[in-house]
């Protein structure tokens, strides 16, 4: 965590792109959203609107970063308390991927009926 605190903005942006691009959760989420939009009977404007809404919805992870940039000193303590998440990250990711998988599978099976 100390190394992250000392990153330059350019290195932090590069690390963010790298971590989001290779994260299986993000990849599955984006693929399932793309398949859902492509499979729907939407015209071009509706497809663009759907992609825009999805992009805004997943961009909410920017909120903590902006909040930290604006009020870093006040947010330092809540952001430092990550012990539970770090200890249970494998379980959290497994449950999240299971929920996403069941959702995508259910939608796929529902489309067959």
pLDDT confidence band for 32 (50 / 70 / 90): confident
Q: How many domains does the chain have?
A: 1
Is 69 a domain residue? yes
Q: What pLDDT does residue 44 have?
A: 92
C-alpha dist (Å) from residue 40 to 19, 26, 81, 89, 108: 30, 21, 42, 34, 12
pLDDT confidence band for 9 (50 / 70 / 90): confident
Is 89 a domain residue? no
Each residue's pLDDT tens digit, 79-97: 677 777 888 889 999 999 9
Instruction: Quote the radius of gyration of the chain (alpha carbons, Å).
Output: 18
Is residue 102 over pLDDT 60? yes
Is 58 a domain residue? yes
Instruction: Measure the CA dihedral 24/97/63/34, to 10°.
Output: 70
Is 64 a domain residue? yes
Is 96 a domain residue? no
pTM: 0.49
Is 95 a domain residue? no
């Amino acid at each position: 965590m100390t190394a992250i605190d000392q990153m330059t903005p350019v290195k932090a942006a590069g690390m963010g792109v790298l971590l989001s691009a290779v994260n299986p959760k993000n990849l599955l989420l984006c693929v399932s959203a793309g398949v859902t939009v492509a499979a729907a009977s939407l015209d071009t404007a509706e497809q663009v609107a759907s992609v825009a809404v999805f992009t805004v919805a997943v961009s909410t992870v920017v909120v903590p970063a902006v909040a930290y940039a604006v009020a870093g000193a006040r947010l330092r303590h809540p952001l430092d308390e990550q012990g539970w998440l770090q200890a249970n990250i494998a379980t959290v990711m497994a449950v999240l991927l299971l929920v996403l998988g069941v959702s995508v599978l259910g939608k796929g099976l529902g489309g067959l009926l």
